[in-house]
Structure 1
């Protein structure tokens, strides 16, 4: 479960990235590490295992990532392993990404659909949201079969709900109140 710690790690890295002028570079490195963790379940399990010595874990991190990513990201990974928080890495990534994009004036739109958007639908949605919010938009897409159809979008604290599930729920509620 995500907690305030992931935001603290992300913010600390964000501050270092700003000082070193490596905001985008760190974001790419973090994204790459996330992809490695997604495709290498055994690596993450090794780093989480309580009986494997810390030095073995840091050695593996070094062997896998040194020379491929910035040293600050390696330090972050070692710190997460040291404090038994490597599972929180994806939250650290998301928090860092949000900070980095906000710094650049880019808003993140969480988008839920029942099926994956086509490239054209994605392009049109980004275009409409960019006009509405007056800024560049990046999408975080989630497939949610329960919404049946349509699109649910959250940008910052505003929710735009054009899902079939919500429309059906509203119709059902209206018919119950008419009785």
Structure 2
């Protein structure tokens, strides 16, 4: 299990920030753009990332990549997003695409007062448990949250919560590891 703060490259942050600023200046629908960015992310991650491998492939001519982007975006994706993708491909920076889209989505959500968090539990939670946990975490963070849920049986029980650069490990496994470290630090004679 890997839970920790996401580390974004400065270049990715700059591209995402520029996209947000231009979109705001032009009065674009940021919510719609964030949804489209999310769909693009899913498409790049789906089917074993065939689309991403195509766009990042050094052996594929840039013109072919640009044609694919133009056809895929036509009428479905905001032209600013499409232009960003074409710019990244033209500059040989398509490997930053997922990171940029991720940052952009986070920026749009943050501007609306919605923040992302991630919860890992040992077993799946039903809808009622998710709602109660979300309410508790929103009170804890003083923020509206959109939570991504994951299951990791190695936690044994409890919850691990990631929010921004904070990690709260309330799992049984985490408590056992903490206890083991304290016992290792104690020199018994």
What is the TM-score of this pair, normalised by structure 1? 0.87
Describe the shift of the 1:129–1:27 C-alpha distance in structure 2 as closer, same or farther (beyond 3 A): same
In 2, the alpha carbon distance for the partners of 1:8 and 1:146 equals 37
Structure 1 unpaired stretches of 5+: none
Describe the shift of the 1:68–1:153 C-alpha distance in structure 2 as closer, same or farther (beyond 3 A): same
Q: Which residue pairs with 1:53 in the alignment?
A: 61
CA RMSD of aligned residues (A): 2.2
What is the TM-score of this pair, normalised by structure 2? 0.83
Task: State which of 46, 57, 66 in structure 2 corresponds to 1:39.
Answer: 46
Give CA deviations for 1:19-77 in whole Å, capped at 9, x if unaligned.
22421011011011112212243322221121222111111111112111110111111
Task: State which of 1, 4, 10 in structure 1 corresponds to 2:10.
Answer: 4
In 1, the alpha carbon distance for the partners of 2:41 and 2:75 equals 17
In 1, the alpha carbon distance for the partners of 2:162 and 2:34 equals 22
Task: State which of 150, 155, 168 in structure 2 corresponds to 1:160.
Answer: 168
Once the two structures are overlaid, the 10-residue window that deviates more, 104-113 or 48-57, is 104-113
In 2, the alpha carbon distance for the partners of 1:172 and 1:43 equals 45
User: Does 2:181 match 1:173?
Assistant: yes
**For this pair of structures, how many residues does the alignment match?**
179
In 2, the alpha carbon distance for the partners of 1:173 and 1:46 equals 46
User: Shift of the alpha carbon at 1:173?
Assistant: 2.8
Structure 2 unpaired stretches of 5+: 1-6
Q: Which residue pairs with 1:17 in the alignment?
A: 23
Describe the shift of the 1:115–1:79 C-alpha distance in structure 2 as closer, same or farther (beyond 3 A): farther
In 1, the alpha carbon distance for the partners of 2:124 and 2:8 equals 26
